[in-house]
């Protein structure tokens, strides 16, 4: 099988060997290993090319048609097209494609809708939320009064009645849904109802599931939520960046929050790459791809459980799962991550809901299927991946065995080349 895509680094090869070698080595690491970090993906040739293109040279503070610098006629085409493609893809009334990353996108949304000190609700980090969802060490927990909600202890899933009850007591200005480590379907319609009942702004951070939402594989909140933020590099398969979508009534506030509120010059080469990714995500093949991500995750989950591993909530509805390695194998998440890495299987240590261990050395690992699906793997390969994971966990203190597994992992991955 031939690789699909190629990086062009001819100049660097000649003139900056150290950086060239490090980039090449990173490419080799990505190609030779089983990448299970659910927030990562592999971008297309079009996205790679746009990211390395000359709009990086341009200052374009402002928005299309209203810039604070001259010479933006071509940049305006790029940014306007990115906005139009994003709105169409998600059925959003308004879109801002300038946020540089997920945290600034969330910051801009809060900045637009709340005053410092206002109360909002987000899911606890240790139960699947994100730092920017109100954690005390983050700006979101320092500048706002975040009252966090949790999961149900029995099911390890969202309990919408409990969230409504808490919201009635707390009276938040905004309720945030959308998570970074929640393996189950989110009932966005229910969140809209809860927000309406308590008079809160309804916001979602769909960073993890954006590709699934765009493809119709997960409920898409963009048409009826007040504000939706997302990164563009996870299941959406775009460049490392973010966007905000919102109802028309919040458009001006959101735009002003991004610029001049929080950012200066937008990264127009990245905006070009986002436009490319949105067009790719609008194609019928992307729907099939997103369906396959979920099929692969479900197969991987079933297989891991049948081989004795406990999964949080007993499975997955989306692209990711949390494995309770501490309960299943008496290995901590940190040790599991390290052992798997020695076998060229990449994941991240993660707390599980109600974890009694610390976030630095928690009980779980978080794994997912976007990258492997991008490489063309299907259900039968997921069974092999599950076996690699279990073998490596069982051999966690035996470096020679892990090195042997690494060789087998490389041979397995070589069947699914991606970048030349
Ligand atoms: N850090 C990201 C993740 O890995 O899920 C969330 O932004």
User: Based on the domain organization, do 337 and 253 belong to the same domain?
Assistant: no
User: Based on the domain organization, do 267 and 134 belong to the same domain?
Assistant: yes
Residue 231 C-alpha to ligand 1 middle, in angstroms? 9
Which residue among the candidates 24, 40, 49, 61 is catalytic per the annotation?
61
User: Based on the domain organization, do 254 and 363 belong to the same domain?
Assistant: no
User: Based on the domain organization, do 60 and 199 belong to the same domain?
Assistant: yes
Which residue among the candidates 58, 234, 366, 375 is catalytic per the annotation?
234
Task: Judge whether 240 counts as a catalytic residue.
Answer: yes
User: Based on the domain organization, do 147 and 65 belong to the same domain?
Assistant: yes
Question: Tell me, what's the pLDDT at 53?
Answer: 97
Question: Tell me, what's the pLDDT at 130?
Answer: 96
Residue 67 C-alpha to ligand 1 middle, in angstroms? 32
Question: Tell me, what's the pLDDT at 157?
Answer: 98
Question: Tell me, what's the pLDDT at 7?
Answer: 82
Its domain, for residue 86, covers 48-281
Which two three-digit tokens encode residue 27? 């490419």
CA dihedral 103, 105, 106, 111 (to 10 degrees): 120
Question: Tell me, what's the pLDDT at 8?
Answer: 85
Residue 76 C-alpha to ligand 1 middle, in angstroms? 30
Mean pLDDT of 56-69: 98
Residue 172 C-alpha to ligand 1 middle, in angstroms? 25
Question: Tell me, what's the pLDDT at 47?
Answer: 98
Which two three-digit tokens encode residue 267? 């990264």
Q: Measuring from each residue's beta carbon to the nearest atom of ligand 1, which residues come in under 6 Å?
A: 39, 102, 130, 180, 207
Q: How many domains does the chain have?
A: 2
Which residue among the candidates 205, 255, 280, 324 is catalytic per the annotation?
205
> Which residue of 106, 132, 208 sits with most ligand 1 atoms within 8 Å of its CB, as the best mutation to test the pocket?
208
Residue 141 C-alpha to ligand 1 middle, in angstroms? 17
Task: Judge whether 61 counts as a catalytic residue.
Answer: yes
- The three state secondary structure string of the chain is CCCCECCCCHHHHHHCHHHHHHHHHHHHHHHHCEECCCCCCCCCHHHHHHHCCHHHHCCCCEECCEECCCCCHHHHHHHHHHHHHHHHHHCCCEEECCCCCHHHHHHHHHHHHCCCCCEEECECHHHCCCHHHCCCCCHHHHCCEECCECCCCCCCCCCHHHHHHHHHHHCCCEEEECCCCCCCCCCHHHHHHHHHHHCCEEEEECCCCHHHHHCCCCCCCCCCCCEEEEECCCCCCCCCCEEEEECHHHHHHHHHHHHHHHCCCCCHHHHHHHHHHHHHHCCHHHHHHHHHHHHHHHHHHHHHHHCCCEEHHHCCCCCEEEEEHHHHHCCCHHHHHHHHHHCCEECEEECCCCCCCCCCCCCEEEEECHHHHHCCCCHHHHHHHHHHHHHHHHCCCCHHHHHHHHHHHHHHHHCCCCEC
Question: Tell me, what's the pLDDT at 3?
Answer: 86
Phi-psi region at 139: left, alpha or beta (left = phi > 0; alpha = psi -120 to 50): alpha
Which residue among the candidates 59, 143, 160, 419 is catalytic per the annotation?
59
Give me the CATH number covering residue 320: 3.90.1150.10
Question: Tell me, what's the pLDDT at 1?
Answer: 72
Question: Tell me, what's the pLDDT at 129?
Answer: 96
Answer whether residue 18 is part of any domain: no
User: Based on the domain organization, do 161 and 238 belong to the same domain?
Assistant: yes
Residue nearest to atom 2 of ligand 1 (CA): 39
Distance, in Å, from the CA atom of 368 to the CA atom of 63, rounded to the nearest integer, reads 36
Asked if residue 393 has pLDDT above 80, the reply is yes
Q: What is the distance, to the nearest Å, from the Cα of residue 4 to the centroid of all Cα atoms in its chain?
A: 23
Answer whether residue 43 is part of any domain: no
Answer whether residue 15 is part of any domain: no
Task: Judge whether 234 counts as a catalytic residue.
Answer: yes
**Dmax of the chain from CA atoms?**
64
Which residue among the candidates 58, 173, 240, 391 is catalytic per the annotation?
240
Asked if residue 192 has pLDDT above 90, the reply is yes
Residue nearest to atom 3 of ligand 1 (CA): 39
Residue 39 C-alpha to ligand 1 middle, in angstroms? 6
Domain end among 254, 281, 308: 281
Mean pLDDT of 37-46: 98
Question: Tell me, what's the pLDDT at 68?
Answer: 98
Domain end among 256, 281, 306: 281
Task: Judge whether 59 counts as a catalytic residue.
Answer: yes
Mean pLDDT of 162-186: 98
Domain end among 230, 256, 281: 281
User: Based on the domain organization, do 330 and 258 belong to the same domain?
Assistant: no
Q: What is the mean pLDDT of the chain?
A: 97
Mean pLDDT of 394-403: 98
> Which residue of 234, 236, 364, 368 sits with most ligand 1 atoms within 8 Å of its CB, as the best mutation to test the pocket?
234
Answer whether residue 287 is part of any domain: no
For residue range 105-134, what is the model confidence (pLDDT) as tens digits? 999 999 999 999 999 999 999 999 999 999
Residue nearest to atom 5 of ligand 1 (CA): 180
Distance, in Å, from the CA atom of 35 to the CA atom of 209, rounded to the nearest integer, reads 18
């Amino acid at each position: 099988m031939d690789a699909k895509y190629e990086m062009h680094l001819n100049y660097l090869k000649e003139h900056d060997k150290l950086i060239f070698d490090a980039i090449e080595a990173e490419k080799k690491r990505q190609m030779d290993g089983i990448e299970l970090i659910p927030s990562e993906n592999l971008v297309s040739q079009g996205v790679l090319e746009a990211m390395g293109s000359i709009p990086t040279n341009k200052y374009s503070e402002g928005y299309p048609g209203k810039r604070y610098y001259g010479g933006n006629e071509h940049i305006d085409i790029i940014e306007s097209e990115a906005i139009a493609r994003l709105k169409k893809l998600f059925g959003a009334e308004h879109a801002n494609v300038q946020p540089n990353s997920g945290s600034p996108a969330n910051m801009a949304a809060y900045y637009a809708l709340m005053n410092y000190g206002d109360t909002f609700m987000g899911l606890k980090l240790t139960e699947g939320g994100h730092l920017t969802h109100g954690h005390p060490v983050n700006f979101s927990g320092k500048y706002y009064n975040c009252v966090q909600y949790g999961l149900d202890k029995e099911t390890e899933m969202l309990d919408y009645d409990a969230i409504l009850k808490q919201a009635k007591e707390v009276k938040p200005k905004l309720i945030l849904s959308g998570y970074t480590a929640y393996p189950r379907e989110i009932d966005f319609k229910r969140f809209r109802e809860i927000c309406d009942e308590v008079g809160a702004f309804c916001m979602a951070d769909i960073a993890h599931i954006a590709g699934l939402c765009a493809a119709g594989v997960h409920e898409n909140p963009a048409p009826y939520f007040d504000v939706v933020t997302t990164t563009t590099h996870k299941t959406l398969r775009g460049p490392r960046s973010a966007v905000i979508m919102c109802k028309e009534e919040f458009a001006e506030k959101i735009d002003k929050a991004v610029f001049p509120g929080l950012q200066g010059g937008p990264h127009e080469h990245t905006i070009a790459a986002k436009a490319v990714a949105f067009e790719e995500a609008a194609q019928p093949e992307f729907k099939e791809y997103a369906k396959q991500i979920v099929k692969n995750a479900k197969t991987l989950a079933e297989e891991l459980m049948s081989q004795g591993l406990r999964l949080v909530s007993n499975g997955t509805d989306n692209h990711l799962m949390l494995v309770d390695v501490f309960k299943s194998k008496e290995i901590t998440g940190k040790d599991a991550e390290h052992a798997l890495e020695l076998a060229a299987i990449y994941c991240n240590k993660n707390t599980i809901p109600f974890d009694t261990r610390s976030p630095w050395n928690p009980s779980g690992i978080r794994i997912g299927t976007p990258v492997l699906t991008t490489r063309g793997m299907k259900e039968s390969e997921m069974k092999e991946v599950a076996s690699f994971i279990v073998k490596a966990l069982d051999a966690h203190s035996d470096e020679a065995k892990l090195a042997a597994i690494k060789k087998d992992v490389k041979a397995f991955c070589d069947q699914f080349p991606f970048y030349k």
